[in-house]
Structure 1
């Protein structure tokens, strides 16, 4: 099929831009919403004397390193993505067995709410770390947090410890991914950036075939805890060479006098106060606490005797709403430095990209949260085969994003591709699952839907990121992508919350209704453990009842996901039709 495309092969070139002392004098607000004419106004538009230290250091680094260093850096990044992708595929396959081992399988979605939420919110202070302290420093800190999470998961003895470990893991994992994404943005021309992003994500095409067998091997061998322990050992080994390359070229740039020395003149106490303001720690605390308190009750209410009437559930929702209100008021009227650069939201291209990011994650987490369990129980697949099907999205989206990257490099356009191909195909793929993700339906139809969603996802994620970056200058790339990541993570948390609420509100009720009298007394054990669910013979009355309950819950989840996708049409329609070939956003030796 791809051979029939009339796209000519595109040679990706290395562009070396000369240093210049000409400064850009726009204010922060103007720079954050730079128009196309402003961006291409001069050859050195991305050079700003008042840029933050991390941005200046990266620009200086790309000015002194060689073509060989750039190639080595991209190879090392690809290897890190390969290890992380293999790790994530394996650990995701193990998650239902971790929660089931504590007889709490229904908390599969709940364990991801706080972790994905905090992991996404942390990208904003991380963007500040990358801009103020530097890219290598931020990347190294994220590796440490990832290690803490993996070690905690390997040592966990209860679901609470596992949930806490997930927070460290996802902050570290998302932070590493974000740091590497910023590096790719720093070292690629905007017209080639879609392809560069697709290239570094391409390891997912290969690793999905490894994760399932690895998860099976750990479960059948030393146990799921070693699935986390092994990656805790090998991850830092593959990250150190990239850090060494960063450090080497940073020292070269510093020796060449390209990195200005700035003395703050602050005491330690003054520095702590300064960075607390710069990172807007109080605002971060308000929004993280507010969203967590507001979203978690939707997954936890079924564990309370009084359900929604439980005082704890009511208090969590009320205080969550109050904290979110306080966050908005604090950011608008009190905060010395705003948590979110509100001026970016006045640009309808940026805002549309953010809304699309949130919508895609909301709908994905709604239908995906219990998809793996559905394949294991209803379709009676092995762990390996279920993992293959779940990861069709990773394979297809990463493969097709390479095609999208070539298309954008060739045409310079991305809006039409998203509006007339990506969005309709996503709606089609998700909508068809309402009928096809049911008991006794051929698995081939589910695979077909996954392929549709994968190709459309590979299109929309790339186009969404390019849209957001095309509307700003190099100095604000980290912030723009951080806010995009925050919207994605909040969307993921909302999606997981909706999925958890539907699951806990529908599955046990339908299970009690469908179970035969002889196994109705095992309702709690069946509800809480995927191992118990699969222990009943295929074709037995109890297994059929379990499958029917799964089907009822899944249908409501997919209807909700399809309804949410209506917002995707509007969010893409408001983008400006920007031609990225006209942009010159970064300097130095870049892709």
Structure 2
């Protein structure tokens, strides 16, 4: 944070003009620069070692912008002229109808001597950082050579300043020498059009934010040298939240530090927030016709330059850093349709555009993207940067260490609450269904919950991207509490299932939001470790849940055991909500949200409702829910004491569900906004991770669905020990995962651990087949050992697979791809519940009937087994018969699981093994081809 300065300091750098200047003077200048950049991060430099003055460089700028629009558009970047090849250098027009940050036109040139590199085929989607400059015809602009000379002088001046800064940091003066070869430094000519005084004054009178030509930001690079004219407009934010004007000082250059240089300095230098007011149209001013001109020079190392980040073991490859910053730039909302920029139409060059144009955070670098929505009637609330994404990125820039600690404390508390509730509720469900006389419907309820979760998570992800994280947390809590009340008050299995439905909507959305918030606020390198924050409560809950659940069932009953969470959970959620709201308040106060508008403010409720219907793909969600629900649920209902496969209530949903599959596929191919970004599925890192998510839970649920009942009946465990044993998987996986997160932070790779974990998972299923039931101590200890081993394996690959898929996607797709990953996780649960339910209902009633002569008693052992345990201890003939049945069916379930584990290993082989960085996602995310052209396509297992 900058200090509470009231003006920018002035530093005389005249000593740099004299090659024989005493070393003492250089040392003093180095210390002076250190003091400036360690406090304000900004300064005026006077007496710079340059052969040109302001008048000359601004004369060239005015000469360029006086060129006719049709000639300037010949230099336009590719996104403005699709037939052009230049993407990084060239001209961009002003687009005031898009956003305040677009109230400027500009022209960029780079190093004329850089080694221009042609992008390979697999890099076709990347912006070429080394592309050559483009220039207007000599008849319109004859000063190309002089502008290149000025570029060279500014490059040398910036190099001298950085050498002094290196010395001030205790480095060698040649510390930056490796940064200079093939430098990507950019000289940018900028023209800001004037804004009418009436318009600016009206904004102030109404208390609104002033009109800005450039919104608040910090520069993202190394060092910026700025020539500004006498118009003024630059403002710098001090520590107390005041915007300090940086007026023109004759003969001076404004210098400031970028985010990356702050990191290189170990945060000793400060990258300070700043903005630019739109210039007023003053009839008496000499420049009233032209507005404001400024010429920033951004010092940048070479594309392949590796920058050491002090205080961190990570190294930054500059080209990757730039592309990452450009991919996360905030685009304007409500893009306009393309316009032809031709002299015949008589258009003002300040209102001409062909697509969105926006700047990467703080650097002033123009990044151009094609419009996400070309239909004039579209309401682009979900896209490259939907409102919720833009808002969370603005908030992320305001998060301090203290804020981050508060957020993670809030995450821990809310996770502790829903984690303990979930563990207990998982144990209460068999008791509730047994009390209702429908114990066999346990798998049916679990299938319904899993289907709801699978449909809810991608939807919740999109809604969070539109409205914001906090808003959806509050809505999710509402559904969580409502479902809890309905479950607790239910008197039959139908009402209980309805409550489970509502609860699952809230619970599933909260699970997603917690993971998305963690991904929003962490780097790839540390994400695996922090992803376990919401899972760490299992370390406590494994041992606490048994006592709580046992005491509740004995004294208050399962209804109160569920119902008490409608009070506890909202209270536990408050710290996370308040910490996020506090960060939002800080962002708003700093001006970072000045241009942010909610979807309601932008479009109104009617347009929002219509846009959400199409852009959330409501029809696709309904069809997909119908596919899974109508096909999977009947498999859990058709067995029982008398099979009902031929009945209409079983056949009809199966037929409708199957028919919905081609309908869903056809709809998704034609939907204006399909529910999943299918283009991402071309990357094996994506579909491989989704396969892991699906088959992990498919396999686990096969053995875990009826595990609590098997422990009580087949192993003669108490409810307390049964609760603890069912929690051992979570306990062991969290302990393993947290330790693994620290290891991954060091080695920066995921795939070897994922492969090892899937193989160990298969071994654990082998033990479960062997120790599948019985009241002996050997069976008891064997099952515990198998569950612990299963948990250790689970610590090695589910969360790493999630981190892997997040690394393969850009930040704007992070919430959606996380939602899809968790949806596949729940689809796996639904499949596992279906298979386990089908095996249970097909096998158990027949086997019990075959072993127990009294068919009335046999029916009770099938429908309400938990109520018979006290009267039939081990040794009782009917209890021993049921134990044999449970052993048999658990063996079938675990054999199914071990077969599915083999498929898990395949998916672990196909995912990529990228090196994790300190960024939120990899710079080349979504730009990889399916096969590596540089190696054998059969080598995917090790790449």
TM-score w.r.t. structure 2 length? 0.57
Paired residues of 2:641 and 2:845 also in contact (CA < 8 A): no
| Residue from 877, 882, 888 that aligns with 1:546 | 882
Which has the larger displacement, 427-436 or 360-369?
427-436
In the alignment, what sits opposite 2:203?
Answer: none
Tell me how far 1:530 sits from its aligned partner.
Answer: 2.4
In the alignment, what sits opposite 2:760?
Answer: 425
Paired residues of 2:773 and 2:779 also in contact (CA < 8 A): no
In the alignment, what sits opposite 1:494?
Answer: 831
In the alignment, what sits opposite 2:371?
Answer: none
Q: How far apart, CA to CA, are the structure 2 residues paired with 1:321 and 1:411?
A: 46
Change (3 A) 1:584 1:490: closer
Indicate the SS of the match to 1:55. Answer: helix
In the alignment, what sits opposite 1:564?
Answer: 900
Q: How far apart, CA to CA, are the structure 2 residues paired with 1:495 and 1:273?
A: 36
In the alignment, what sits opposite 2:783?
Answer: 446
Indicate the SS of the match to 2:591. Answer: coil
Change (3 A) 1:94 1:183: same
Indicate the SS of the match to 1:365. Answer: helix
Q: How far apart, CA to CA, are the structure 2 residues paired with 1:553 and 1:14?
A: 61
In the alignment, what sits opposite 2:848?
Answer: 511
Tell me how far 1:43 sits from its aligned partner.
Answer: 6.1
Tell me how far 1:256 sits from its aligned partner.
Answer: 2.4
1:495-554 Cα distance to aligned partner (Å, 9 max, x none): 000000000000111111112x3x333111110112244131211111111001111111
| Residue from 404, 426, 433 that aligns with 1:99 | 433
Paired residues of 1:363 and 1:561 also in contact (CA < 8 A): yes
Paired residues of 2:546 and 2:720 also in contact (CA < 8 A): yes
In the alignment, what sits opposite 1:462?
Answer: 799
Paired residues of 2:391 and 2:596 also in contact (CA < 8 A): no
1:144-183 to 2 correspondences below 5 Å: 144-183=478-517
In the alignment, what sits opposite 2:630?
Answer: 293
Paired residues of 1:93 and 1:212 also in contact (CA < 8 A): no
Change (3 A) 1:20 1:462: farther
Q: How far apart, CA to CA, are the structure 1 residues paired with 2:434 and 2:626?
A: 28
Which has the larger displacement, 404-413 or 260-269?
260-269
1:474-497 Cα distance to aligned partner (Å, 9 max, x none): 111101101101111111001000
Change (3 A) 1:20 1:280: farther
In the alignment, what sits opposite 1:55?
Answer: 389
Paired residues of 1:376 and 1:383 also in contact (CA < 8 A): yes
Tell me how far 1:180 sits from its aligned partner.
Answer: 1.0
| Residue from 112, 118, 121 that aligns with 2:446 | 112
| Residue from 44, 61, 86 that aligns with 2:325 | 44
1:230 maps to 2:567: no
Paired residues of 1:189 and 1:586 also in contact (CA < 8 A): no
| Residue from 384, 387, 396 that aligns with 2:720 | 384
Tell me how far 1:265 sits from its aligned partner.
Answer: 5.3
Structure with greater Cα Rg: 2
Please list every run of 5 or more consecutive structure 1 residues that lacks an aligned counterpart in the other structure. 1-12, 23-35
Change (3 A) 1:19 1:345: farther
Paired residues of 1:20 and 1:47 also in contact (CA < 8 A): no
Paired residues of 1:39 and 1:584 also in contact (CA < 8 A): no
1:23-42 to 2 correspondences below 5 Å: 40-42=321-323
Q: How far apart, CA to CA, are the structure 2 residues paired with 1:133 and 1:217?
A: 42
Paired residues of 1:93 and 1:211 also in contact (CA < 8 A): no
> Which is richer in helix?
1
Q: How far apart, CA to CA, are the structure 2 residues paired with 1:254 and 1:512?
A: 69
Indicate the SS of the match to 1:270. Answer: helix
1:371 maps to 2:707: yes
Tell me how far 1:296 sits from its aligned partner.
Answer: 0.5
| Residue from 213, 221, 231 that aligns with 2:547 | 213
Tell me how far 1:200 sits from its aligned partner.
Answer: 2.9
Tell me how far 1:584 sits from its aligned partner.
Answer: 5.0
Q: How far apart, CA to CA, are the structure 2 residues paired with 1:20 and 1:514?
A: 80
Indicate the SS of the match to 1:103. Answer: coil
| Residue from 507, 510, 525 that aligns with 1:191 | 525
1:107-133 Cα distance to aligned partner (Å, 9 max, x none): 111111111211221011111111111
TM-score w.r.t. structure 1 length? 0.90
Paired residues of 1:40 and 1:584 also in contact (CA < 8 A): no
Paired residues of 1:148 and 1:169 also in contact (CA < 8 A): yes
Change (3 A) 1:122 1:14: farther
In the alignment, what sits opposite 2:404?
Answer: 70
Tell me how far 1:39 sits from its aligned partner.
Answer: 5.4
In the alignment, what sits opposite 2:693?
Answer: 357
In the alignment, what sits opposite 2:856?
Answer: 521
1:359-378 Cα distance to aligned partner (Å, 9 max, x none): 00100111101111111011
1:130-149 to 2 correspondences below 5 Å: 130-149=464-483
Indicate the SS of the match to 1:64. Answer: coil
Indicate the SS of the match to 1:579. Answer: coil
Paired residues of 2:532 and 2:738 also in contact (CA < 8 A): yes
Query: Which structure's relative contact order is higher, taking Cα pairs within 8 Å and 6+ residues apart?
Result: 1
| Residue from 781, 802, 813 that aligns with 1:476 | 813
Tell me how far 1:302 sits from its aligned partner.
Answer: 2.1
Paired residues of 1:124 and 1:339 also in contact (CA < 8 A): yes
Tell me how far 1:582 sits from its aligned partner.
Answer: 6.5
In the alignment, what sits opposite 2:353?
Answer: none
Paired residues of 2:409 and 2:576 also in contact (CA < 8 A): no
1:242 maps to 2:576: yes
Tell me how far 1:575 sits from its aligned partner.
Answer: 1.0
Please list every run of 5 or more consecutive structure 2 residues that lacks an aligned counterpart in the other structure. 1-265, 276-297, 299-316, 332-384, 924-943
Paired residues of 2:636 and 2:834 also in contact (CA < 8 A): yes
Which has the larger displacement, 122-131 or 36-45?
36-45
Q: How far apart, CA to CA, are the structure 2 residues paired with 1:41 and 1:94?
A: 53
Tell me how far 1:267 sits from its aligned partner.
Answer: 4.9
Paired residues of 2:525 and 2:745 also in contact (CA < 8 A): yes
1:224-373 to 2 correspondences below 5 Å: 224-259=558-593, 260-262=595-597, 266-302=603-639, 307-332=644-669, 334-373=670-709
Q: How far apart, CA to CA, are the structure 1 residues paired with 2:751 and 2:534?
A: 23
> Which is richer in strand?
2
Change (3 A) 1:173 1:39: farther
Tell me how far 1:569 sits from its aligned partner.
Answer: 1.3
Tell me how far 1:340 sits from its aligned partner.
Answer: 1.1
RMSD (Å), alpha carbons: 2.3
